[in-house]
């Protein structure tokens, strides 16, 4: 069926079979291969993207369910091509090794810190419980997230 | 791990959704948040001809709280429960249990109705619904007690042409004592075992009307009547705690699987009953 949605700010229309997950659709139809597919059944978090402001597992969402929605993938984190503050913090803290889980980590944290820029370390750790990293370990990832918070705080007052 | 082929419809009214369901007897599945259904399809445990997406069906996503009951619409998502301001006071046990459900991304999609219909024996909402004697409102106009709705692992009395509209929790007295404790290997994973309990206090400060429900350690969420009987009328001291915990472990009939043995789960039940009771006593 024909679907229309906004991907990383750009209105897009495409044909999608109902059985195709949003993750596969992004990778295979739109060639946005920054979104990674680890487990395909909602355990690992590598495929996390943001739909209408909420971080979701794109392997547990059908492409047709994104019809009419705003979708942001890791390619949309920094339209300029420079590293976003969160990405820069990941680089500074060596918060990745093989990098497979990184797109999911970034999108999860981007959604969290956009909503909750004053999230404390415990909250960050709780949220990252839905994302598996099998090589770096979580300490540098949490450190990067903590450092990036200030870039999201802007005009938002601490609750 | 790719999904089997199916047709997809996203009706914009309840009538339209029910008509689609009736037109495909036994061969259509309702898609709410999809956080259990999509993995089921990926594993080819179900191959429905049609998915009926409820995301455009109005008036299923309300949280209504009044003096007699709290009603959660079938399409209420976990993240909406988490952000509800009145719910922690209106239904503290329900609210606290829901904070244990799944991971951040799944909480943004998963729904009340989906969890009830999926009926995972380790899921929090079915357990709390049974504990609190909640009633499940169906599209047929019937309301069924949660304890009668769940009939086994992933099994309910829901007919193929029926839809869950809401779950209704009776009002919660402010002075009620309650606790919720579960154990999972990662926060957000399904519980290996979990306990939801509450009781009221009589004039002498003894427990009465005890409700103790178990998840994860049985093949469906259920109350543990022998443990409740131990708690009713008891002075809340160390000996009573031990007796209630032991009664709960004795009456639980847990499965053995790759996550835990029968003995381990029984031991967990005793530990979690004790933890939940300690919480309750401190409230």
Could you say which residues from 232 to 261 on chain B have a Cβ atom under 8 Å away from some Cβ of chain A?
A: none
Domain A85-153 CATH assignment equals 3.40.190.10: no
- Selecting from B1, B105, B108 the residue whose C-beta is nearest the C-beta of A41 gives B1
| Count of positions (residues) in chain A | 159
Contacts of B3 in chain A (CB under 8 A): 19-21
Helix (H, G, I), strand (E, B) or coil at A64: helix
Instruction: Examine the pLDDT at A154 and tell me if it is beyond 80.
Output: yes
At residue A122, the 3 state secondary structure works out as helix
Region A125-142: what's the mean pLDDT? Answer: 94
Query: Chain B closest CA to A40's CA: distance in Å?
Result: 7
A111-137 mean pLDDT: 95
pLDDT at position A79 over 90: no
B31, B53, B106: residue with CB nearest A130: B106
Looking at residue A105, its pLDDT comes to: 98
pLDDT value at residue A156: 76
CB contact under 8 A, A60 and B106: yes
In the prediction, which pLDDT does A131 show?
96
Interface ipTM? 0.95
Please report, for chain A, the start and end positions of each structural domain, with discontinuous segments joined by +. Answer: 2-76, 85-153
Predicted confidence at residue B206, as pLDDT, reads 95
| Spatial CA neighbour of B163 closest among B59, B14, B26 | B14
| Across B168-194, average pLDDT | 94
Q: Does domain A2-76 correspond to CATH entry 3.10.20.30?
A: yes
**What average pLDDT does the segment A5-9 reach?**
97
Q: In what order do the strands lie in the sheet with B50-53?
A: B7-9, B50-53, B28-31
- Residue B188: its pLDDT value, please? 86
For the stretch B12-39, pLDDT in tens is: 999 999 999 999 999 999 999 999 999 9
A84 neighbors A99 (Cβ within 8 angstroms): no
Computed over every residue of chain B, the mean pLDDT equals 96
Alpha helices (runs of H) in chain B, residue ranges in sequence order: 14-23, 37-42, 78-83, 87-90, 92-98, 104-107, 112-118, 124-131, 146-149, 225-231, 238-251, 262-282
What average pLDDT does the segment B100-121 reach?
Answer: 97
pLDDT reading at B1 higher than 80: no
By mean pLDDT, which of A133-137, A145-149, B166-170, B267-271 is the weakest? A133-137
pLDDT tens-digit series, residues B111-144 = 999 999 999 999 999 999 999 999 999 999 999 9
**pLDDT tops 90 at residue A95:** yes
Q: Residue B187 — very low, low, confident or very high, per pLDDT cuts 50/70/90?
A: confident
B140, two tokens: 């047929």
> What is residue B248's predicted lDDT score, i.e. its pLDDT?
98
Provide, as residue numbers in chain B, all residues whose Cβ is less than 8 Å from the Cβ of A17: 5
Give which of B282, B142, B146 is closest to B223, Cα–Cα.
Answer: B146
Question: Could you say which of B35, B51, B105 has the minimum Cβ distance to residue A18?
Answer: B51
Model confidence at A81: pLDDT above 90: no
Cβ under 8 Å to A: B residues 59-118:
79, 102-106, 108-109
**Angle at alpha carbon of residue A51, lines to A93 and A95, rounded to 5°:** 10
The answer, yes or no, to whether residue B82 has pLDDT greater than 80, is yes
Chain A interface, Cβ < 8 Å to B = 1, 17-21, 24, 40-42, 45, 48, 54-57, 59-62, 64-65, 67, 108, 112, 126-127, 129-130
Structural domains in chain B?
7-53 (3.30.43.10), 63-170 (3.30.465.10), 177-282 (3.30.390.50)
Mean pLDDT value of segment A75-94? 95
CB-CB under 8 Å, A41 with B42: yes
Residues A71-92: what's their mean pLDDT?
A: 96
In the sheet that holds B69-73, the strands lie side by side as B63-65, B69-73, B164-170, B135-138, B143-145
Would you say B147 and B130 are in contact if contact means Cβ atoms under 8 Å apart?
Answer: yes
Q: Are B166 and B241 in contact (CB under 8 A)?
A: no
């Amino acid at each position: 069926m024909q679907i229309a949605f906004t991907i990383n700010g750009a209105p897009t229309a495409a044909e999608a079979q109902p059985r195709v997950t949003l993750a596969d659709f992004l990778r295979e139809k739109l060639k946005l291969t920054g979104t990674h597919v680890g487990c395909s059944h909602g355990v690992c978090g590598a495929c996390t993207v943001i739909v209408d402001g909420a971080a979701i597992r794109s392997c547990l969402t059908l492409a047709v369910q994104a019809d009419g929605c705003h979708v942001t993938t890791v390619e949309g984190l920094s339209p300029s091509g420079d590293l976003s503050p969160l990405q820069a913090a990941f680089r500074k803290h060596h918060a990745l090794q093989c990098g497979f889980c990184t797109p999911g980590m970034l999108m999860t944290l981007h959604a969290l810190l956009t909503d909750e820029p004053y999230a404390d370390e415990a909250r960050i750790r709780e949220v990252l419980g839905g994302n598996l990293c099998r090589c770096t370990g979580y300490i540098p990832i949490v450190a990067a997230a903590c450092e990036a918070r200030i870039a999201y705080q802007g005009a938002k007052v601490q609750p | 791990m790719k999904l089997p082929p199916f047709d997809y419809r996203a009706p914009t009214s309840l009538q339209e959704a029910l008509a689609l369901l009736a037109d495909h007897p036994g061969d259509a599945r309702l898609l709410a948040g999809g956080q259990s259904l999509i993995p089921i399809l990926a594993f080819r445990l179900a191959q429905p001809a049609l998915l009926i997406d409820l995301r455009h069906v109005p008036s299923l996503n309300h949280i209504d709280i009044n003096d007699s009951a709290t009603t959660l619409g079938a399409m209420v998502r976990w993240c909406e429960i988490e952000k509800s301001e009145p719910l922690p006071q209106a239904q503290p046990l329900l609210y606290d249990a829901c904070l244990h459900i799944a991971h951040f991304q799944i909480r943004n999609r998963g729904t009340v109705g989906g969890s009830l219909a999926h009926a995972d024996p380790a899921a929090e909402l079915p357990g709390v619904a049974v504990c609190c004697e909640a009633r499940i409102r169906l599209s047929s106009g019937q309301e069924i007690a949660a304890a009668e709705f769940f009939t086994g692992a992933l099994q309910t009395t829901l007919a193929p042409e029926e839809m869950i509209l809401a779950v209704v929790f009776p009002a919660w007295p402010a002075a009620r004592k309650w606790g919720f404790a579960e154990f999972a290997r990662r926060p957000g994973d399904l519980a290996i075992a979990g306990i939801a309990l509450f009781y009221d206090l009589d004039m002498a400060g003894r427990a009465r009307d005890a409700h103790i429900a178990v998840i994860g350690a049985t093949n469906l969420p259920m109350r543990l009547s022998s443990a409740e009987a131990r708690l009713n009328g008891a002075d809340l001291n160390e000996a009573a705690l031990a007796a209630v915990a032991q009664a709960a472990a004795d009456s639980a009939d847990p499965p053995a699987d790759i996550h835990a043995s029968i003995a381990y789960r029984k031991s967990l039940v005793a530990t979690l009953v004790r933890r939940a009771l300690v919480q309750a006593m401190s409230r």
